[in-house]
A and B are shown apart, each in its own frame.
Chain A
């Protein structure tokens, strides 16, 4: 088919589509919605992904965490799956701290997590409790707006002291001073010795809602365990993160009497933030594409709508097809006429869908930003490209059958069709 007859076919198609404006529009709507939802989901997915990665990145790239339980190279650590593993303890932290200058660890901290309700006079507040060791600030950062952090002695003495996140302090004490005040957690009395400056969200934890306690106090008084949930350490910048990790792994294997140096028998897993980022990206990617796939199902439904309407159109225009054939249209001419019509329909639908999708994604990004998240509006070239290709393909695939049907009509029968 050359340019001129292509142009003619396009003109014919536009004319046919304009003849049934409402029908064309409704048919297109399926594609519009499908394409728009794919674009929106891809955009929201990309935005959420960058939000998550940004949060994790804010921890710092030289922070490494050790979680109890073995894990696959790419899978999540066992502890994340909700299985309690008790293989990490404070001795592990001690061993790492002892060797820290030699192996390139800057500082290390152990964590025990929990929840509890804090009460002060008539005020109470649910906060996440975190038992930590004395080098917490060196690893995690953060500043106190009042008071001080607890000392190693206070940890060893199982002192009942707490440091409040700014939000917790505000809820319990509002603007009055909190230092030296006594609060209750699970019927035990604690003294407030420090208050954090506002820190906001980092890696999905609201630091301002946290309450820090000496780790042994947390273990013995509030939870009743002798293991720790996580050990984190910061590597010395002069050392390669990977080599520090393998040194730490060796120390832990020594501690746990693991002879196997390959890592296959490890009862812990060591992950740097970089590895964690890769893991999170692969999980969020999978989620994003899964959702996009779900959205593209609506495109298939739209495609079936197109096929349905094209079949009706072929039926209605049987006589026209007969006339065209009598006047010399070949089967190819008829096929291309109906195919161009359906591709045109889906392409226009796709185009409108892209515009609509981008507009809605942008609107959502504005709303999410207003809600206080650090949201980035992302519409990737790929999602647009895919939308264009897919909507065109749908026109082609779902248009072929009706077009073939039209072309196979016998001229006499088509002409005599009532």
Chain B
């Protein structure tokens, strides 16, 4: 079991007002799964994804990642956990501006313990997402779809245990969106664990399992009966 979540709660306190976002969610995710976390905005799915990505801490409940209770980790350990075990793909790409595609992909490597052949490793991953010809372009010189592929390359470069994609197609046109979903599905076929956060049913159905969340609670957790296969040319909606 890769991820074990039990009765996870999250509340924010500001000006003495307590806002409960997660009311106690529990689920497990195994190695090699492709899971969508789906819910409308305000459902708590972003908060859940932040906690899953070790960017935020839960208020209570258990979160075990690869057998490690992450509540016991300090900030530094969390940082290296994020670096080694988690690859992020964000809706707004979050690439460094005025920086080359290659340097963006090298970035996570510079924070890791294995800093050998960084450039070669980054190039290899960029090749695999079809961006071998864009290495020295600045991130503001490439298209949105290409940006998201750079982000995927950056997420992959450290061989993470899980890829967390937060609305990865949200800022893309449908054609680029399909390309991204195709890449994610291929990565899953190759054995990567992927967690996809989205509010769209269509996008969510590219996964093998959907966890639906509403008002801070899980309302359903079911396998996808007919997984959509992303292929270029397939029209959305």
The stretch of B74-82, B203-211, B220-228 that contacts the partner chain? B74-82
Q: With the chains together, A15 CA to B50 CA distance in Å?
A: 30
User: B41-67: which residues lie under 8 A (CB-CB) from chain A?
Assistant: 50, 53, 55-56
**Residues of A within 8 A of B (CB-CB), count:** 23
Known: A320-B96, A323-B94, A330-B80. A5 touches B110 (CB 8 A): yes
B158 to chain A, nearest CB (A): 8
Known: A15-B99, A319-B94. A329 touches B111 (CB 8 A): yes
Q: Does A331 lie within 8 Å of B76, measured CB to CB?
A: yes
**Residues of B within 8 A of A (CB-CB), count:** 26
Interface of A toward B, CB cutoff 8 Å: 4-5, 8, 15, 19, 319-320, 322-333, 410-412, 415
Known: A5-B110, A412-B55, A415-B55. A327 touches B82 (CB 8 A): yes
Question: What's the A-B contact tally at a CB cutoff of 8 Å?
Answer: 64
Name the one of B53, B55, B99, B111 contacting A330, with C-beta atoms under 8 angstroms.
Answer: B111
* Cross-chain pairs A/B with CB under 8 angstroms, 15 sampled: A319-B94, A320-B96, A325-B82, A326-B55, A326-B94, A327-B83, A328-B82, A328-B158, A329-B79, A329-B111, A330-B76, A331-B79, A411-B55, A411-B56, A415-B55
Identify 19 new A-B residue pairs, CB closer than 8 A, beyond the known A327-B108, A328-B108, A328-B112: A5-B110, A322-B94, A323-B94, A324-B107, A324-B111, A325-B55, A325-B79, A326-B88, A327-B82, A328-B79, A328-B83, A328-B84, A328-B111, A328-B158, A330-B76, A331-B76, A331-B79, A333-B111, A415-B55
- List B contacts of A322 (CB < 8 A): 94
Q: With the chains together, A95 CA to B232 CA distance in Å?
A: 118
- Nearest CB in chain A to that of B77: its residue: A330
User: B82-126: which residues lie under 8 A (CB-CB) from chain A?
Assistant: 82-84, 88, 90, 94-96, 98-99, 107-108, 110-112, 115
- List A contacts of B84 (CB < 8 A): 328
B155 to chain A, nearest CB (A): 9
- List A contacts of B79 (CB < 8 A): 325, 328-331, 333
- List A contacts of B53 (CB < 8 A): 326
- Nearest CB in chain B to that of A333: its residue: B111
